[in-house]
Amino acid sequence: MPPDTTSKDARVVALIGNPNTGKSSLFNALCGMNARVGNYPGVTVEQKVGRLSGTAEIIDVIDLPGTYSLAARSADEAVAVNVLSGEIPQQAKPEVAIVILDAANVERNLYLFSQIYELGLPVIVVMNMWDRVTSEGLTVNAELLSQRLGVPVVCTSANKRKGIDELKKTIEKTLRSPSATPQSEQFARAMFPSVFHDEVKQLTEWLESQGRKPSTYQVDRLLIDSDGHFQKLICQSGLPDIATKIDEARLRLQTAGCKVPMFETKARYAWVRKLIDGAVVRQESRSASPSDRIDRWLTHRWVGMLFFVFVMFIVFQSITLFAKFPMDGIQWLQAQASSGVEAVLDPGALRSLIVDGVIGGVGGVIVFLPQIAILFLFIAILEDCGYMARAAFVMDKLMTTVGLSGKSFLPLMSSFACAVPGIMATRTIESRKDRMVTLLIAPLMSCSARLPVYVLMVSAFVPDTKYAGGWITLQGMVLMFMQSLGAMVAIPVAWLLKKFFFPGEPATFLMELHSYKWPSPVVIYQRVWERLVSFVVRAGTLIFCTSILVWAAVYFPGDHMSLDAAVAQLEERQSEVSEMIAKQPPAPRGSEPATEDPSIANMQSKIDEAQELVNQQRSKLIEGSFLGMVGHRIEPLVKPLGWDWKIGVAVVASFPAREVIIATLGTIYSLGSDQDENSQGLQHQMQIAEWPNDGKPVFSLATALSIMVFFALCAQCSATLMTIRRETNSWRWPIFSFVYMTTLAYIGAWLTYQCFRFWS
Amino acid sequence: MPFHQFEIFPVCGSMITDSVPLPIEYLQPECHGTIVEMCGQPCQMQRLAELGIRQGCKVRMVCQGEPCLICIEGRRISLRLGDSADIFVIPAAG
């Protein structure tokens, strides 16, 4: 397994480059481990560490977030700067920086290289996507560039695993020879005018007199970046005069003809132009590329929007159409496992724990693996082919109406898979206000944990009506509506948050859209697999533990002696009947089998009596259990939503993780009803559940919709709330999210039930 | 900002009679131009330059509107600057 952080005895190298230079693909090719690869900026928001495979020494590779510059403005870019400067606690400073350039866009990519070179680290330049050089009509002389830069240059095509071995050898060679260290000090001196260096010297001396020891690079950035990362840090650290000192220095620079910050970009691009002169030749193309022609339609204001809705429609119809068969298979396996355990173990606490707690609980969640696989498959394909960034472009117009920008769309779209990476992806948003609003509405997006709840309710209570020759289903449309409900509610919520909590104009929208490409099967497989494994692990840990706790709360404190005896009697009679049927002579060919044997019919009625006794015992025990006691206490609160106490406790139990409701309902109904070999699982149990007082069904279409609306809007995920706490560094915002979402969910569920109770 | 004094019409290269700088969003789809002036907040200017949008660059409009989609040196960049910055281009003739 790869390490989460670098090990003490390992050499450390860092991968850095502009967004979408194939950095994550290169990381996978070097380390042979999974990392998310996307076609839009900022997909790698977390620092990732892998171990270089096939090298003599232990070498750890840090995959840094993609950045256009070391002038950090977003939290994401600050991570890259901090790692390269060795400012991350318990994280060794990288010995080599591997700068990845898009071989087809060398000029802009060298801008970042020039900043990294100044940090004083040995640098290796990787010209990735080398195959695009010829396809885009470019001529790049890598050898000449290597000579001019004074650092090794390796050409790779990471997605085709080309040039990887050469890169590994170059990394080893650079780590072995410290002479590769560049003359960064002279490089920086030559880049900027002497007046700038005089100001840097003056400010450094002043900072040292105040007891600070900043590096030359940090002072450079303090002076250049207006309201940049280092300025914010140093201002927060309690140096009252620093802001005035910086302003004075900038004013003197401006007077001397060195206008901050533009003198930096001018100087660096002048250096880049000189460097690539004769080494990179681009043929002027005046015609539109195939991507341009597609973009003319897909980024069109109306056509683009309609296409996006159409894509979402296809996704959710596919989930209902294609997941049925594998889902039935998993349910069959679940039933076989339960029968197997029942055949081996006598009725009692252990058997109940395995069958009702583990198989009924965890198994109930695992059943939804096919739907989740289909959802992730579509998301991965859309990301990898480059469509997601276009969707962000199309959505920018809509997002500005609520005060956000298209940049918020990508974290929100990620939240459709899971809110945790979605919230972390908000680090790419430079404007703090936009970031906060996006972060607070991200949990409203319908994550994959909600999908099982919707699928269960929709398949059990929404009529299986089909249109257009069976290609469009009512269930699919309801599913799509539920998946979109959170996003629809997020629009007014974002508007209110922006209006009252974070007022201001929408931030500017600047984003690079990469050429369309065929999605890579390897990348798709990796992403879907990664997600499924994490879902199964979650089912096997958190949901497993909760299932056990719920089982215990339903099983205890009742005395199960009489129930166990009744179950044993029932099973004995059932096996007697089976034996009697087996002993009957086979019916002659062509005639009907003799089913009405009086002794079998007599036995069957005895089985029915025993079953009735078992049901009565179970109901009595579940009513008197700990969970039953709690359930009856909260029933007045949940009754206006159309829920009985069982649904109420299942919802309360699912506050740590929303998919727990399936496991909880599975356990409650498994323990509290007549589950026999003909039972069709939880769905069937719910369909036959009745109110004890009037015998009416507990679940109606109104109840199912009310539960789904509650789940669409409620903050039932401890991991999401903890992530909000971590990202905002305050308890205020997770508490705020929890309160506003739970209130919204309760009101939404109540309104839904009240509207549909008369309809259904 | 002296360029705001001009009356602006949607313009493509063939309609240009003289080198009149226009805000970039007025460049018609598939028209080419050269960036001649950029003004706005310093940090915004720095960000644009880091993305490769700077004075002297040749641009092509792929999709007009707000945001617009432009092509610079083979890269497509979506752009909505609002009030924070202005980019002026001279459309290419022909």
Residue A739 CB neighbours (<10 A):
11
Residues 6+ apart with CB under 8 A from B3: B21, B22, B23, B37, B86, B88
pLDDT for A113 = 93
Residue with tokens 């270089």: A52
Other CB atoms within 10 A of residue A731 CB: 11
| Interface membership of B73 toward A (CB under 8 Å) | yes
DSSP label at residue B10? -
ipTM tops the 0.85 cut: no
Nearest residue in B to A287, CA atom: B30
**Top-confidence residue, B73 or B16:** B73
Q: What CATH number does residue B71 fall under?
A: 2.30.30.90
Q: Which has the higher per-residue pLDDT, A409 or A546?
A: A409
Closest CA in chain A for residue B59? A286
Cβ-defined contact of B29 to A296 (cutoff 8 Å): yes
Supply the pLDDT for residue A286.
Answer: 61
pLDDT at A42 over 60: no
How confident is the model over A456-474, as pLDDT tens digits?
A: 899 888 888 888 777 888 8
Model confidence at A46, in pLDDT bands (50, 70, 90)? Answer: low
Which structural domain range is residue B83 located in?
A: 13-91
Q: Assess if residue B81 is contained within a domain.
A: yes
- Report yes or no: A400 at the B interface, CB cutoff 8 Å: yes
Query: Regarding predicted confidence, which is higher, A615 or A627?
Result: A627
Highest-confidence segment of A128-142, A477-491, B35-49: A477-491
* Residue A112 scores a pLDDT above 50: yes
Average pLDDT, chain A: 82
CA A512/CA B50 separation, integer angstroms? 12
- Cα end-to-end distance, chain A, whole Å: 54
Q: What average pLDDT score do residues A12-41 get?
A: 73
- Mean pLDDT (whole number) for A17-34: 80
A706 pLDDT band, cuts 50/70/90, is very high
Q: What is the pLDDT of residues A160-178, one digit of tens each?
A: 888 999 999 999 999 988 6
Q: Is residue B31, in this structure, part of any structural domain at all?
A: yes
**Long-range pairs of A185-190 with CB within 8 A, sequence gap ≥ 24:** A185/A120, A185/A216, A187/A114, A187/A117, A187/A118, A188/A118, A188/A216, A188/A220
Contact between residue A17 and residue A23 where contact means Cβ atoms under 8 Å apart: yes
Examine residue B6 and state whether it is found in any structural domain, yes or no: no
Q: Is the pLDDT of residue A34 over 60?
A: no
Looking at residue A43, what is its pLDDT?
40
Please say if the pLDDT value at position A6 is more than 90: no
Indicate if the pLDDT at residue A40 is higher than 50. Answer: no
b/e for A68-84, b at 16 or more Cβ within 10 A? Answer: bbbbbbbbbbbbbbbbb
Q: What is residue A438's predicted lDDT score, i.e. its pLDDT?
A: 94
Residue A5: which pLDDT band, with cuts at 50, 70 and 90?
A: low
Chain B CA closest to residue A259: B42
Query: In this predicted model, which residue has the larger pLDDT, A125 or A727?
Result: A125
Contacts of A397 (CB under 8 A, 6+ apart): A301, B65, B66, B67
Contact between chains at B77 and A396 (C-beta distance less than 8 A): no
Q: Encoding tokens for residue B13?
A: 């290269």
Whether the pLDDT of residue A700 is over 50: the answer is yes
pLDDT score, position A544: 78
What mean pLDDT do residues A638-663 have?
A: 83
pLDDT at A348: 78
In this prediction, residue A284 carries a pLDDT of 65
What's the confidence (pLDDT) of residue A591?
54
Residues A5-34, mean pLDDT to the nearest whole number: 80
Q: What are the two backbone dihedrals, phi and then psi, of residue A400, each rounded to the nearest 5 degrees?
A: -65, -25
Length, in residues, of chain B: 94
Mean pLDDT on A258-284: 86
Tens of pLDDT, residues A659-687: 778 877 877 776 554 443 334 567 777 88
Residue A586 pLDDT: 67
Number of Cβ atoms within 10 Å of the Cβ of A329: 12
Average pLDDT across chain B, whole number: 78
Residue A146: predicted pLDDT? 92
Instruction: Report the chain A residue with the minimal C-alpha distance to residue B29.
Output: A296
Return d(Cα A278, Cα A141) in angstroms, integer. 8
Domain count for chain B? 1
3-state DSSP assignment of residue B85: strand
pLDDT surpassing 50 at residue A701: yes
Question: What's the rounded mean pLDDT across residues A604-625?
Answer: 78
Q: B5 lies in a domain?
A: no
Contact A118, A187 (CB under 8 A): yes
SS3 A97: strand
How large a percentage of chain A has pLDDT more than 90? Answer: 19
**pLDDT surpasses 80 at B14:** no
Residue A551 has pLDDT above 70, yes or no: yes
User: What pLDDT is stored for residue A506 in this prediction?
Assistant: 77
**How much is the pTM?**
0.72
Q: CA A529, CA A706: separation in Å to the nearest integer? A: 33
Question: Residue B3's pLDDT band (boundaries 50, 70, 90)?
Answer: very low
Residue A531 predicted with pLDDT over 80: no
Average pLDDT score over residue span A338-358: 82
> Across the interface, do A405 and B81 touch by the CB < 8 Å criterion?
no
Q: Does B39 touch chain A (CB under 8 A)?
A: no
**Closest Cα in chain A to B86:** A508
Distance CA A306, CA A504 (A): 30
Helix (H, G, I), strand (E, B) or coil at A183: coil
Per-residue pLDDT band for A39 (boundaries 50, 70, 90) equals very low
Does residue B1 fall inside a structural domain?
A: no
Instruction: Please judge whether A400 and B80 are an interchain contact, meaning their C-beta atoms are less than 8 angstroms apart.
Output: yes
Tell me whether residue B4 is in a domain: no
Looking at residue B8, what is its pLDDT? 43
What CA–CA distance (Å, rounded) separates A589 from A443?
63
Task: Give percent of chain A with pLDDT exceeding 70.
Answer: 90
Using a CB-CB cut-off of 8 Å, the residues of chain B touching A509 are 67, 78-80
Q: What pLDDT is attached to residue A153?
A: 95
SS3 A512: strand
Average pLDDT over residues A279-306: 82
Decide if A105 and B74 are in contact by the 8 Å CB cutoff.
yes
Record: contact B74-A285, CB cut-off 8 A = yes
The answer for residues whose C-beta is within 8 angstroms of residue A480's C-beta and 6 or more apart is A312, A313, A316, A317
Residue B6, pLDDT above cutoff 50: no
CB atoms within 10 A of CB A451: 23
Whether residue A736 has pLDDT greater than 90: yes
CB contact, 8 Å: B49 with chain A?
A: yes
What's the Cα-to-Cα distance from A111 to each of A191, A670, B37, B94, rounded to whole Å? 12, 63, 21, 33
Residue A707 has pLDDT above 60, yes or no: yes
Q: Do B67 and A68 lie within an 8 Å CB cutoff?
A: no
Q: Decide: A294 and A121 in contact? Cβ < 8 Å.
A: no
- The Cα of B89 is separated from the nearest Cα of chain A by a number of Å equal to 17
Interface of A with B in 257-296 (CB under 8 A): 260-262, 264-265, 269, 282, 285-286, 288, 291-292, 295-296
Residue with more model confidence, B23 or A179: B23
Distance from CA of B63 to the nearest CA of A (A): 6
